[in-house]
Amino acid sequence: MKKQWWHGKCAYQIYPKSFCDSNGDGIGDLQGIISKLDYLKDLGADILWLSPIYVSPLADQGYDIADYYNIDPRFGTLADMDELIAEAKKRDMDIVMDLVVNHCSDEHEWFRKACEDPDGQYGKYFYIEDMKDGKGPCNWRSYFGGPVWEPLPGHPDKCYLHVFHKKQPDLNWENPKLREEIYTMIRWWLDRGLAGFRIDAILNIKKVLPFKDYPVDREDGLSSVHNMLHEAKGVGDFLGEMRDRAFAPYDAFTVGEVFDEKEEDLPAFIGDGGYFSSMFDFAETVFGSSENGWQDAGGITPDQYRDCVFATQKKVDQIGFISNIIENHDEPRGVSRYIPEGDACPASKKMLATVYFLVKGLPWIYQGQELGMENVHFSSIEEVDDISSIDNYRVAIEAGATPEEALDAVRRFSRDNARTPFQWTAGENAGFTTGTPWLRVNPNYTEINQADEAKDPDSVLHYYRRLTRLRKDPAYAETLVWGGFTPWLQDRPGVMAYLRTSEKQTILVMANYQREPQVLPLPENSGYKVLLNNYSSVKETPEGLALEGYQAVVLELEK
């Protein structure tokens, strides 16, 4: 694996709508982000990914783009964006935007023109088909519920494809003209000084054609779009072309949102010269998920979590650099999902931070994670904004769940858990806005907020600062960034431990992933130096280290 400029960095995801509101309209914005750059720099964030801020009706919170060449006025202006890129550069930080090109918005000019003239140039930018008996040409179910076909406005005999929401018509990647438009747009942004992109839902760009039905898998008579995706071949041709035409000339950093990749495809995706620089590890994210919906999805135990992470480490090994997360804007908060119920506390949050951050790959922090922000306890479905949560609620009810059970599933999995405003202070609206926040602030902001944690040297926030500093410390970076990965005590329940090794040194990351204390052995004859500890000390016994509940230590082993 060739070393890359970004390997030793730390990445951070901003969900702009919920990060910081500079003008009191209740919506976070670019000037808000600029005002917090020093905070992010101090945390140790180097690469900042912004969820979409392009012009959009925000039907799916900006993942429905109406103009790829401009900023939505709610977030700011192009001048603000240029300022953000420049201010970031001054601090040696890089800005990465979201690239949403499986679909655009139904309010995009291309789609409006396609509706005016479905047989014209822009009609070919989409998948537009004739309806038969009031139905589209196949039975796929969209990710957000209902059929993927919707009548084309103004043409009741025709319909268009949308694998996500009906306000997100799919772009036709088979059309070389469309692909050319996309590459031109990507280069336009890179010319503005952007470092690269996070690439949204990208495997969906390849469809199995001609359209056909797949086995019905729910009572709605439809079939999950996953069934089609499993069969689709040839996405690599598009991805390789996009890399060559748009990313490679700029040495852009790209991270793919890739689910369900086949193991043999890994080298093509993230090996040297692969389609992307990196892609996210979703092994633990999707663990326990069910095709039936959230009401049937299970939790994940500490041992299962460890096994998912280790399986990815083994699979990726020397091939490339995976991107490690515990949450993002589509998932519940990591501390609410990966820490057993009732046990989320500063110690366990720091432990989780330690174990996911120091495995091999690029560590990502999602906004608020560094404070230990938690899921919200919604008291009714009316408090939920997210379209996918509302759909999953309906699916649960239709599958026979009671309203309380359906709400419970939403509490566990809702994307709004991660989308509540960033908790800056213990003051009104958590200091996020002087107006009315677009989404209710998590009521726990009086205990969990940035201002208080900044003052407390033992806070989760300060612990994250120590983690980023440790990974970047020239004395350890060779090992923690590029070194090998070997599981330690892998078969012991309630433990997550591993060795990172280079010619220079061996570092042991060892966590007691349970409430009860336990004694864990060190590799034979090892003296050690403590590099990081989420408790103030560590007890030694002849059998090994006696770790407190959720204690995690990072040790440099003496040879």
Kindly list the residues in this chain that would bind ligand GLC in the complex (CB under 6 A): 60, 63, 100, 164, 200-201, 257, 329-330
- Separation CA 41–CA 55 (nearest Å): 28
Is 272 among the catalytic positions?
no
Q: 29 vs 370, which CB is nearer to Ca ion?
A: 29
Closest CA to 96 of 320, 352, 362: 362
Output b/e per residue, 23-57; b: 16+ Cβ within 10 A: eeebbbbbbbbbebbeebeebbbbbbbbbbbbbbe
With binding defined as CB under 5 A, does residue 72 bind Ca ion? no
Residue 303 in 3-state DSSP?
A: helix
Q: Which does 201 bind (CB under 5 to 8 A by kind): ligand GLC, Ca ion, none?
A: ligand GLC
Binder of Ca ion out of 7, 8, 23, 340 (CB under 5 A): 23
Q: 64 vs 453, which CB is nearer to ligand GLC?
A: 64
Q: Which does 466 bind (CB under 5 to 8 A by kind): ligand GLC, Ca ion, none?
A: none
The least CB distance from residue 223 to ligand GLC, in Å, is 19
Binder of Ca ion out of 25, 87, 343, 452 (CB under 5 A): 25
Q: 235 vs 508, which CB is nearer to ligand GLC?
A: 235
Amino acid in the structure at residue 534? N
Q: Which does 60 bind (CB under 5 to 8 A by kind): ligand GLC, Ca ion, none?
A: ligand GLC
Residue nearest to Ca ion (CB): 29
Query: Which residue do the tokens 């091999």 mark?
Result: 360
What are the strands, taking DSSP E only, across 231-359? 253-256, 278-279, 323-324
Q: 388 vs 505, which CB is nearer to ligand GLC?
A: 388
What's the CA dihedral at 369, 356, 555, 317 to 10 degrees?
Answer: -150
Binding to Ca ion (CB under 5 A) within 29-48 occurs at: 29
Residue nearest to ligand GLC (CB): 63
Q: 65 vs 467, which CB is nearer to ligand GLC?
A: 65
- Eight-class DSSP state of 108: S
- Separation CA 234–CA 280 (nearest Å): 21
Q: Which stretch, 14-22, 230-238, 262-270, 315-323, contacts Ca ion (CB under 5 A)?
A: 14-22
What are the CA-CA distances from residue 108 to residues 56, 113, 115, 321, 393 (Å)? 9, 9, 11, 35, 29
Is 416 among the catalytic positions?
no
The least CB distance from residue 257 to ligand GLC, in Å, is 6
- Find the catalytic residue in 72, 257, 370, 386: 257
- Find the catalytic residue in 94, 98, 200, 416: 200
The least CB distance from residue 58 to ligand GLC, in Å, is 11
Residue 284: both structure tokens together: 């633990």
Residue 488 in 3-state DSSP?
A: strand
Q: 32 vs 196, which CB is nearer to Ca ion?
A: 32
Task: Specify the length of the chain in residues.
Answer: 559
The reply to whether omega before 210 is within 30° of 0 (cis) is yes
- Give catalytic residue positions: 200, 257
- Report the interface residues with Ca ion, using CB under 5 A: 21, 23, 25, 27, 29
